Each structure stands twice: as structure tokens, then as C-alpha cells.
Amino acid sequence: MNDLPEIDDDALKLDPAFADQFEPQFRPACQLYLISPPAIDDGFATLLEAALDAGPVAAFQLRLKGIDDHRIAALAAPLVAICRAREVAFIVNDSIGLAKRLGADGVHLGQEDGDPRDAREQLGKEAQIGVTCHDSRHLAMEAGERGADYVAFGAFFPTTTKTVEHVAEPALLGWWTTVFETPCVAIGGITADNAAPLVAAGADFLAVSSAVWGHPDGPAAGVRAFAGVLGQG
């Protein structure tokens, strides 16, 4: 497959004059996609169970930073079982190999983490493959061309979970969902209080870490807090 030529991102914006020429597509309601804290211990399994039992969660991403794959695999085993028992997709961050080793439902790839085409080859046609696209229309279209199952845009709000270089605006979600069927994920500093414009703009998933795991009343309360903005209240 040929790569898309590099295009000026601004040139890809949808002219509002033509927006009504696109048929509104049916899209399922926006769902929660939990991202793990960057560091966990064996006690995290209990927190994950509490979070997943508190309300609908579509996916859980294991995103551990600064430890080797063997340790991640040991920590992951009970978490895979917890997700599987609840039909929550278990997604591994960064590593196609680790996703395969764990029998994960998919992998999330940043721009430096590998090619979705390789992920597809190694993980198979059922795997859920996501790609970080920052605030770039070009990267998102490229990811779609390469077979991504979802594209992730962000960061929408300031976050302490990751040092970010790109800031995305809700209009990007509106453009993407008007033109493409591939689901889009919004990420970065999302809380129950600031998420409404992202849902209104068309986000298919809200990827959330600290607002759930750092909720003052615990992760179950963190998940429940999103019910209103996700129309589940």
C-alpha cells in the first residue's frame, strides 16, 4: 500500500459550507475506555474490578511505563481474566509482541511504537488496533489507511499522567466523525466535568486515567461520575 503524501493539515479541514453534504452516520453512544495508571502493584486487580463493576466500560488499556515486559506480563495475567469475565476489551500499550504474548484483544500504538500493518499481521484480523494521532488529520487518515480500528486524538486538556506536546480541539472530533467511519478516541486530562464538549463533538470513546484511578472516592466513583455525560444516568 502506498503511503499518503504529506498534506497540510489545515487544508483537510471541512469547509462548513460543504458539511451538510455529508450524511450523518449512525454511531453508537460514546463509551469509556480506561487507561491504567502508569505504575501499579498486585493490589490493582481489586481496583480494576471495582471500576469495571461500577458502570459500562468498553475497554481497558494496560499502560505501564519504565518496567520490563516480564514484569508487565506477570502483573497483567489477573487483569486479563478480570476484563475477559466482564467482556471488556483488554488492550496492551506500546508492544505488539506483549499483546500477542498476553492474548490481548488489541494493542495501542504511538507514532514511535510500530506500524498497524505489522500489528495486524501478528495479531490477526480480530485484533483491535489503535493509533495515536495527536492533533493531526494527516496522521489519522494514514492510520486509517494502514488498518487502524480506532484513531486517538489528544491531549484535549492538561494532564499530569503524560508529558504531552500536542493539544487537540473538539472540532477535530467533529471533522473526523463527519468524514470517516473509523471510531475516534479522545484522550488527555478528561474528567466528568470537562468531557461534555468532546461527547457533543462526536468522540466515540473517552480514554481516561487519572479522573478514575485518582478519584477522591475511589475508582468506582470515578467511573460512576461519567454516567451523566455519557447519557447513562
Ligand X SMILES: Cc1ncsc1CCOP(=O)(O)O
Ligand Y SMILES: Cc1ncc(COP(=O)(O)OP(=O)(O)O)c(N)n1
Near ligand Y by CB under 6 A: residue from 47, 173, 187, 192: 187
* Per CB under 6 A, 202 contacts ligand Y: no
Can you tell me the distance from the alpha carbon of 80 to that of 88, in angstroms, rounded to the nearest whole number? Answer: 9
* Per CB under 6 A, 95 contacts ligand Y: no
Site for Mg ion, rule CB under 5 A: 94, 110, 113
Near ligand X by CB under 6 A: residue from 162, 174, 197, 227: 162
168-189 per-residue burial string, b: 16 or more CB within 10 A, e: under 16: bebebbbbbbbbeebbbbbbbb
Can you tell me the distance from the alpha carbon of 203 to that of 198, in angstroms, rounded to the nearest whole number? Answer: 6
Backbone dihedral angles phi then psi of residue 79, each to the nearest 5 degrees: -70, -35
Can you tell me the distance from the alpha carbon of 157 to that of 198, in angstroms, rounded to the nearest whole number? Answer: 11
- Dihedral sign (CA 127, 37, 114, 9): positive
CB of 75 to ligand X, least distance (A): 18
End-to-end CA distance of the chain: 45
Contact string 106-145 vs ligand Y (x = CB under 6 A):
--x-x--x----------------x-x-------------
Q: Return the range that interacts with ligand X (CB under 6 A); candidates 49-57, 115-123, 158-166, 192-200.
A: 158-166
* Per CB under 6 A, 37 contacts ligand Y: no
What the block records as the C-alpha cell of 158 is: 492538561
Interaction partner, residue 116 (Mg ion, ligand X, ligand Y, none; CB < 5-8 Å by kind)? none
| Site of interaction with ligand X (CB under 6 A) | 35, 154-155, 159, 161-162, 164, 187-190, 208-211
| Site of interaction with ligand Y (CB under 6 A) | 35, 61, 63, 93-94, 108, 110, 113, 130, 132, 152, 162, 185, 187, 207
